[in-house]
Amino acid sequence: APPDFSGTWNMVSNENFDRYMQSLGIDMITRNLAKLIKPQKIIEQNGDSFVIRTLSSLRNYRVQFTLGEEFDEDTKGLDNRKCKTLVTLDNGRLVCVQKGEKKNRGWIHWINGDDLHLELTCEDQVCKQLYRRVQENH
């Protein structure tokens, strides 16, 4: 069975984020602020449908998609570009390709226990982020 990505996840580490943001053309002031924050991911998964929210004091970003269905993504508040975006599941990994102005752009999520991994790619830069599951109170 594929993993369930649903839940609340807090960032614990973030490698090469500055160079990833640089490859997206994010200005230095924004990059220096963004480096200081540890965002939270809130993921809602219902079958093939997903909502991923990236929350922080600096910016909030929300993306909604169905696996296998290409959609128009507007990265408003991030680098403000339009992409043709497709997300699929590949061996338990959520694989996103963001076709647009930037070459080789996308991201991959996967779960290992209570760890949520995220690799963000743009051009020749790969940013590796780790998030940890926030325990629900029953």
Q: Which residues bind ligand VLZ (CB under 6 A)?
A: 21, 24, 26, 30, 34, 41, 52, 54, 56, 58-59, 61, 63, 78, 107, 118, 120
Closest distance of CB 135 from ligand VLZ, Å: 20
Are the C-beta atoms of 24 and 14 separated by less than 8 Å? no
3-state secondary structure of 57: coil
> To the nearest whole angstrom, how small is the minimum distance from the Cβ of residue 39 to ligand VLZ?
7
- The position carrying tokens 């926030």 is 134
Residues in CB range of 130: below 8 A, 6 or more apart: 11, 12, 13, 14, 115, 116, 117, 118
The structure tokens listed for 23 are: 């490859």
We find the least distance from the C-beta atom of residue 57 to ligand VLZ, in angstroms, to be 9
Nearer to ligand VLZ, 111 or 120 (CB): 120
Determine the Cα–Cα distance for residues 93 and 3; give it in Å rounded to an integer.
9
Residue (1 or 29) nearer to ligand VLZ, CB: 29
Nearer CB in complex with ligand VLZ: 5/91: 5
Least spacing, CB of residue 129 vs ligand VLZ, in Å = 8
Question: What phi and psi, each to the nearest 5 degrees, are found at residue 76?
Answer: -60, 130
Which of 87/138 has CB closer to ligand VLZ? 87
Largest Cα span, the chain: 45
- Select 1 or 36, whichever has its Cβ closest to ligand VLZ: 36
Question: Minimum distance from CB of 113 to ligand VLZ (Å)?
Answer: 18
